[in-house]
Structure 1
């Protein structure tokens, strides 16, 4: 259902699936539809553990991309070589998990016209663009995006011994897919359309189609190392019981909520994995020691997530990460019968899910003594 819905949106934004380039009634059809559909189908098969757009909220980024451009000039007299290599640099700021402001420079290459085997016209296009980038998270690390904005174009045309040039503004629309390699790196595949580049009175007008592959770097930190260890290794003191005094008789206070023996938070798991990090295992070793010294004590191992993604997905993720902690306790000699493993998904948040810091605290596993 997601794939069909997206294709309908692409059709409405860009019209037909194929764009047509005319030269002396010879029509060349170039289809972008299969490429976009293949990228989307591949993305729906992947399911890592970290939401890319949410994780990079509040960060600047820079990137570069390269690919193929195609021109659709309205007037020509000879054979047109309208495919060209193109390259770009870009940068932006990710305001939140769904909105970024992005700008860049595009070198869109040259269109060449030949008559009787001789080059009679060469048109080069460059532009600068700025626009809004809107993200839609498919899974935890894959997201689709759309772009809308404007470009300022410079067109330089050489016809024989004559040179013409002009500048104008155009509408820019785009769509693509991104995958997060790590906290700092993403790859993207992107299609852009620039409307009516150039002026009819000088160089002529052309729609420009641009398909590219790029790499982005985000200037932020995942704070994995020592900071994560400090957040994960909160250990409660074991309070020794004392013999109650016979007098006076005091009504017992209602039992307090148990204090977690250990809380495994950010940095407790490898990126895009449910495998425990060495820091998380070190925190659990304290629990192993206490359980071996107190053979009657049992533990509850409870997994939680933040509110990003669907409730069903978060429930399964919390169960898998809690099970990883339970498996480690068993591997250190603690009987399975003394461990209860529970997944609570996005329930019982301990911090604000609207901030990146809050979501990191809510993605946790708690170990409670019984």
Structure 2
């Protein structure tokens, strides 16, 4: 390996470790404040790894070094919450071997570079921890040379990877990957299966969603002292009135828990303020887009958004029961956007109650 190549690889390692230290400092921020992001975004990253060429040397080699350090730069696009496409450019290191030829030991060195394009899927294990798998095609460029000859070749093959991802800051993600490359090389320069263990770091260009506005709390009015006057207590005749159950449905935008009250909803709010003994039930739903786990969280956020709105407008939280059902119980199919719009809903109901009202009064 030349001195120039060694210096280049040392520079890449230094840059990788410096980037990791900087991003680790960002992780000291308060991660408890969970921000919502758009599900589609681009990311860039770098990886350092260890590669082993399974059949890197012929059986009659005097000595064989078929392990080396590998480097990779990658770009990807995450979409639909769990799917991603990704492309990498890789320096897959060297193979060094010595063969006994014509009475002397002849050193050989093989070099390999490649780029790949793959599609993958993330499986969420927790809020910030994922496992993933991806498959794709790989275009390799190889070279083998000794003191007397030099041969080059290139071609295509298949590759597959599995690994783990961890979001340790808002935009930073670490990953640990095992990659298998099938039949890397050719008869002209030699062929081998590649096994690589990668340690990577990527930056995600996420866009934040629109957040819920902070409620406006009216200023407290100063208390007034009222002088008590003797009041003649009238004789009141009371009758019982049944206040029927009242229900209102509100719709949400796609992939959003931002609640915008309608005129009808504020009329409903006036109704439940007028009858403070009613019990309020909130049931929130989503359409079928996204994973079931993600939709459960989203419907919970929608139910809580309405509950917070009612509480901020004078409704005692002990009166409110909030439930969420994700993508279950659709009122129509999810085949079209118009149908899905009606499934992104929350149904708010006030219970039936009996109240006593004054029919009239007679002074005693």
Q: TM-score, normalised by structure 2?
A: 0.55
Q: 1:363 to 1:215 in 2, by over 3 A?
A: farther
Pair member with larger Rg:
2
Q: Which residue of structure 2 lines up, in the alignment, with residue 342 of structure 1?
A: 323
Judge conservation of contact 1:100–1:134 (CA < 8 Å) in 2.
yes
Aligned pair partner of 1:102 in 77, 82, 86: 86
Judge conservation of contact 1:178–1:188 (CA < 8 Å) in 2.
yes
Deviation at 1:67, TM superposition (A): 1.4
Counterparts of 2:66 and 2:322, CA distance in 1: 62
1:204 paired to 2:184: no
Q: Which residue of structure 2 lines up, in the alignment, with residue 45 of structure 1?
A: none
Counterparts of 1:354 and 1:50, CA distance in 2: 30
Superposed, 1:263-282 pairs within 5 Å as none
Q: Which of 90-99 and 105-114 deviates more? A: 90-99
Judge conservation of contact 1:306–1:360 (CA < 8 Å) in 2.
yes
* Paired residue secondary structure (1:224): coil
Superposed, 1:184-333 pairs within 5 Å as 185-201=172-188, 203-225=189-211, 228-229=212-213, 257-260=247-250, 294=274, 296=276, 298=278, 299-307=280-288, 308-310=290-292, 318=299, 322=303
Counterparts of 2:332 and 2:174, CA distance in 1: 31
* RMSD (Å) for aligned C-alpha atoms: 5.2
Q: Which residue of structure 2 lines up, in the alignment, with residue 155 of structure 1?
A: 142
Judge conservation of contact 2:44–2:204 (CA < 8 Å) in 1.
yes
Judge conservation of contact 1:184–1:221 (CA < 8 Å) in 2.
no
Deviation at 1:71, TM superposition (A): 1.3
Deviation at 1:61, TM superposition (A): 3.8
Deviations 1:194-216 (A, max 9, x none): 22222333x32222111213234
Q: 1:364 to 1:67 in 2, by over 3 A?
A: farther
1:66 paired to 2:48: yes
Deviations 1:87-111 (A, max 9, x none): 1122244464565443221111122
* Paired residue secondary structure (2:187): coil
Deviations 1:328-359 (A, max 9, x none): 97799854542233333324669996899x99
Judge conservation of contact 1:106–1:126 (CA < 8 Å) in 2.
yes
Counterparts of 2:295 and 2:303, CA distance in 1: 12
Q: 1:173 to 1:179 in 2, by over 3 A?
A: same
Deviations 1:44-91 (A, max 9, x none): xxxxx9999x923xx444332221111131415133222211111222
* Paired residue secondary structure (1:173): strand
* Paired residue secondary structure (1:106): strand
Aligned pairs, number: 276
Gaps of 5+ in 1: 1-48, 234-253, 270-278, 281-285
Q: Which residue of structure 2 lines up, in the alignment, with residue 122 of structure 1?
A: 109
Q: 1:51 to 1:168 in 2, by over 3 A?
A: farther
Q: TM-score, normalised by structure 1?
A: 0.54
Q: 1:333 to 1:305 in 2, by over 3 A?
A: same
Judge conservation of contact 2:178–2:197 (CA < 8 Å) in 1.
yes
1:91 paired to 2:71: no
Gaps of 5+ in 2: 1-33, 217-243, 261-265, 352-364
Counterparts of 1:185 and 1:360, CA distance in 2: 33
Deviations 1:255-285 (A, max 9, x none): 984255x97996759xxxxxxxxx99xxxxx
Considering fraction of residues, name the structure with more strand: 2
Judge conservation of contact 2:49–2:71 (CA < 8 Å) in 1.
yes
